[in-house]
Amino acid sequence: MCFTPSSTRVSGAGVASVKRAPVGLYLASGWLLVCLFSAVFGDFFPLPKWDEFDYDNLGLPLFSEGHLLGTDYDGSDVLSGLVHGARTSLGISFTAVFIGSVIGGLLGIVSAYRRGWVDSVVTMYFNVSLAIPTIVLTLVMVALFATPDIGDPSAGWPRELVLIISLTLVIIPILGRLARGSALSWSGRDFVLVAESIGMKKRSILWTHIIPNVLPAMMSVAFLAAGVVIVIEGGLAILGVGANPGASWGSMLAKNRGELAIAPHTTLVPAGIIALTVMALNYFGDYFRLRIDDRESRI
Amino acid sequence: MRFQVAIRNLAKAALVLFLVTFSISILVRFLPGDPIEILMPFATEEGRAALRAELGLDVNVVQYYFRWLSDLLRGDFGVWYASTGDGGGVPVRSMLAIALPRSLLIMLYTMVVSLVFAVPLGIFLAYRAETRTDRTISNVLFTISSIPNFAIGLGLAFVVGVQLDLLPVIGYVPFAESPSEHFKSLVMPLVSLSVGLVATFSRLLRVDTIATLREDFVTMASSKGLSNSWILWRHVLRPSSSTLMTSAALQMGALIGGAVVIESIFALNGFGMLLASAIATRQYLAIQSLVALIAIAYIVFNLIVDVLYAIVDPRVRGGRG
Amino acid sequence: MKHLFRGGRRKVAAVMAVALVASLSHVAPAAAARGDDILILIGEKDSGWCAQDSPGLDQIIAKNAVAETLTIMNEKGKIVPYLAKTVENSADYKTWKITLREGIYFHDGEELTAATVLANLAANLGLNPLIPGSLPAIAWQDNFGGVTSLAQFAAKAQAVSKYVVQFNLPAPRPLFNEGWFANGRPVIWSTKTLQTKACGTTVGAGTGPFKIKSKGVDQFTTLLEANTNYWRKDADGKRLPKAATVTFKVVQDPAQRRNALTKGQADISTFGAAAGPQLNEMRKNKDLVIFAGERSTTWSFHMNTTAPPFNSKNARLAFSYAIDREALAKVVAKGNADPAYCFGASYHPYNLSQGGTKKCVTSNLAKAKEYVAAYKAETGKTLEVLLPINETAESAKANQAVCNMLKKAGAGCALMPPVTSTALILRGFALRQQVSWFNVVAGYSPAFADLFSRKTNLELSGFRFTNPGLAACFQTALETGAAAKYKECAAVLHGEAYWVPTYTEGGFVVARKAVTGLGETPLPAGGKRPVVGLSGFDFASVKVSD
């Protein structure tokens, strides 16, 4: 089977880079493209609305008429739910990871290169953030920001936004620490020392030498993190603070888990979709990591 | 020198702890919903003021924090306040005495079980690298590590718990009461939490081991003329290590969160559910104490890791000269 | 080999770090054994049981196992004396005399006397400094016309002899004796309990068949043991209760409760109609017996008229018309509930549909849209509704369905983050929600009349009617007890949508076949308690036979 990227090379020097991408890469990118397509263009698909309750068709099994993947016990169509859920789940996950990576990466790289008190403060911030459990942070943030005032209902922020913010806060220190560690290693490299000694400005060193070398590692972890965030959102949904019921894959799972014995497809199908997406993301993460290994082994 | 470093690390740890608990206590005060109003919405203003004074909520946030901190240092975790005021509530400490041990045990068992299976599996796969066996098992592990642990938990509860009727689906039995029931009640939560970890850890270990084997080749090659400092740089510049470590850190984070969800599914009534309940009912003291415990655990964990790394690594480096 | 641990150092560290914790196991309450120990699963976390607390139905079951009320509802829906021997009243319903049974003792040894009843009443009125006044005080204060000191109290309630209490009410209260049942809430505690701050939190001595062994420290488990000195006897005059211990375990997920019952891990469990799919599944199981309560509980939305949007009649009517009650009953209760167009059971005096098909409210999407537009014209804003939910999945489901219906009518709708049932109710009273989601467990007794009367609640809570005549109407109904008056007031109540009924259900209790004796204990005043009643179920005679 060729899903898992091949992960060994016989000694480092002189091995040619991978010439042909493994089949797994095509499958993973294909799946992610399908998800992204659903997320963006889902509204145009000829499916019933995801939050519409079809009261006469509760709990239809798979492959029923009019409902390709059946309905759950509220009468919501499972397939529409998945299509809409792609937007919510991927939206939350990708946004949180992207913004978290950018902010965390910047903080980490700058603090690694600058050292001194900047480094101490940033590291302290990372440690403190990592020590606050995700669950606590999200529960508190949802209660704080997604609970609007009774007099002005629209003042509350949408749940998805609050989730993005709290998950971004979770990602920042993780990617930040990685970026910092990586930047630290690279800062000590010969060619960087050489560049400094010839008087190259710190900023250009950062841009031309350090960042391009730190980025691949960050990208690999970012993909992994995206997968983990999707799963975390599902867990939060089970605790009641995820996206609104049925709006994301995780909250579909949480909403229908009571009927696992009766209509298992309403739980298993979203779970399967989550697993496939996480697999595809992990695949990319692994793939990038091995490309880095390759590069490293050839330097 | 080592002593100085240790003191500095401790100081840093204490600072982190302080910052975490202080920021949580401030954040939590912003939560909408005055606990006094929730407890007694129809009492007179005097009645409410009296309860507020009794519960110590009439001081500002900073004073409240330091009062809590001084209590905590004396071992008093505060009170889960009830509407009858200070004497009527349940001490958080006794609630913790019930909830904390079971959560810790679950985490302990999970780590032990995961390692017991992951380490041999990882090494085995590394020795058999690139063979059909390796590829098949690796793919299976890859798939398994992508399934959310609560999905596994739900599935197990149904299949094993109900249809096959082998294990209890809800509740936790302490070890002291009945060792066999104790383990039986934890099998499904453990499996749900461990499966993903075994898959992830064994894959990480496999790559590491392969890389190490590869390095040994390189070390041999170095005797043919490549300098030691070059090898050292390569060792330092191993972004894959930090990637792996970060990946493991991500998994640990998801594990702690996942443990709360698993607790909720299997009605284990552990630490996570206690914390969620405290947040929902605005139990400020309980929230602060519980978060402090998590932060302490996290910091201790990190300190131990740093210490262990210092112990393990010099030997490794020394061994390779 | 040492290289192994380079990658694994964090894992080893994790093991070591966590391994620092010894296996500190405390003896938690017992899991179910068989025969003399019963395990009952409920869906609501432990809360306080004392006068100031407002537990939900599931916790009332546990509370009534420990402490009992002066009067009780029998299976025919009639309120009969229970701890009381007789209840007498004057012709004008202003003077009431309660004679207690003799020889009833609390779990701490104190005897039930008139003095104990007075101490409990004082606590209910908010006169006990240890126990702050809360929701129940409002209803009681209304009966006594406002009592703020013990001197005033002594004038209105006295012990005439050791076992006889007399009440002198300032205004007629035909339903005073029903107030002593009030769905199992006003229980009688021992005087010592009322002098403890931990009343109802961790301790509480009542007269019930079981006494508290462990409560409150573990929010999810309450352990009770048999009261060997219990005053009721079974039909053959033999001692009660039959079980040795009862454990109440909280499992919030009804699917898991069903799993546990099916496997025989638990003996009895409660379910609401919203757990429809679970109930339908359990009906197929031959080893389980399902007891259905009468469909007399109406779930209703109560509108907060002190703040927008529901201070506007248009908004309220839009809400009421938008709700498709048939669909809601189907979606939420899966056939285990009826759509409710009036609230209260069919024989309830408020219920306008008595004897005919006249409805109090209707579902009509077109009209709902009209009223949404009217609201927009009136205020310039779109109707935006925020629905509160508790921690159960059913609550989220029901309210999500309502949200969808509102959206169809052109209004905006969202769900608030979940809170506990108690918090939901209290927050509603504190006017922090647009609506509150109540089950009016009215049964036969129009005991909720006092909620709508003028003096007590309207000044303090959101039960305010922007229609001034309505409050006076209810006050008169309360004092005369005349059914026609109630109907008149109810017509206005529904016509202006202050209270929007949705569906009517009864509770369900599911037990394994091996559980015997549910609902079999006779009441001393004759008859039996209903198996699934308004205050839960009676398990004094329950035994597990395997």
Distance from CA of B314 to the nearest CA of C (A): 11
Is the minimum CB–CB distance between B301 and chain C shorter than 8 Å? yes
Q: Give residue C439's pLDDT.
A: 61
Q: Is the pLDDT of residue A260 over 80?
A: no
Report CA dihedral (C490, C493, C499, C503) to the nearest 10 degrees.
Answer: 40
Mean pLDDT of chain C: 80
> What is each CA distance from C98 to A193, C114, C126, C176, C338, in whole angstroms?
96, 9, 21, 11, 38
Which of helix, strand or coil describes residue B84? coil
Q: Is the pLDDT of residue C90 over 90?
A: yes
Statement: residue A135 has pLDDT above 80: no
No. of H helices and E strands in chain A?
10, 0
CB contact under 8 A, C397 and A53: no
B181 touches chain C (CB under 8 A): yes
**Burial status of residue C425 (CB atoms within 10 A of its CB: 0-12, 13-18, 19 or more):** buried
Q: Compute the mean pLDDT over every residue in chain A, rounded to the nearest whole number.
A: 79
- For the residues C405-410, what does the mean pLDDT come to? 90
Burial group, residue B300, by CB count within 10 angstroms (0-12, 13-18, 19+): middle
Per-residue pLDDT, averaged over A220-238, amounts to: 87
**Reported ipTM:** 0.73
- Average pLDDT over chain B, rounded to whole? 75
Using pLDDT thresholds of 50, 70 and 90, give the confidence band for residue B221. low
Structure confidence by residue, pLDDT tens digits, B226-242: 555 454 444 433 444 55
Contact assignment for C4 to B265 by CB distance below 8 Å: no
At A6, list the tokens.
Answer: 């091949």
Residue C159 has pLDDT above 90, yes or no: yes
Least confident range of B189-198, C183-192, C341-350: C341-350
- C32 versus A148: which is more confidently predicted? A148
Q: How far is CA A263 from the centre of its chain?
A: 29
Residue A148 has a CB neighbour count (10 Å cut-off) of: 17
Name the residue among A196, A225, A211, A197 with its Cα closest to residue A112: A211
Poorest-pLDDT segment among A128-142, A189-203, B259-273, C424-438: C424-438
Using a CB-CB cut-off of 8 Å, the residues of chain A touching C401 are 53, 74
**Residue A155: DSSP 8-state:** G
Chain B residues touching A257 at Cβ < 8 A: 154, 265
* B275 to B170, B202, B297, C146: CA distances (angstroms): 19, 32, 15, 41
The answer to whether the beta carbons of residues A126 and B246 sit under 8 Å apart is no
C539 and C36 Cβ atoms separated by less than 8 Å: no
Contact B169 C30 (CB under 8 A): no
Chain A residue closest in CA terms to C256: A258
Query: What's chain A's length in residues?
Result: 299
CB contact under 8 A, C134 and B40: yes
Q: Is C524 on the interface with A (CB under 8 A)?
A: no
- Between C166 and A180, name the one with better pLDDT: C166
Do C314 and C305 form a contact (C-beta atoms < 8 A)? no
Task: Please state whether beta strands B85-91 and B79-82 pair in parallel, antiparallel, or not at all (unpaired).
Answer: antiparallel
pLDDT higher than threshold 90 for residue B132? no
pLDDT band at C227 (very low <50, low <70, confident <90, very high): very high
Say if A249 is an interface residue toward chain B (CB within 8 Å): no
Q: Which range among A30-34, A79-83, B151-155, C475-479 shows the weakest confidence by mean pLDDT? A: C475-479
Per the rule left: phi > 0, alpha: psi between -120 and 50, beta: everything else, C504 is beta
Higher per-residue pLDDT: C9 or A225: A225
**CA–CA min distance A266, chain C (Å):** 14
Shortest alpha-carbon distance between residue C385 and chain A (Å):
7
Residues C336, A109: Cα–Cα separation, whole Å: 61
pLDDT digits (tens, 9 = 90+) for C408-459: 899 998 877 776 666 676 677 667 778 877 665 544 444 455 556 545 454 5
Contact (CB<8Å) B260/A9: no
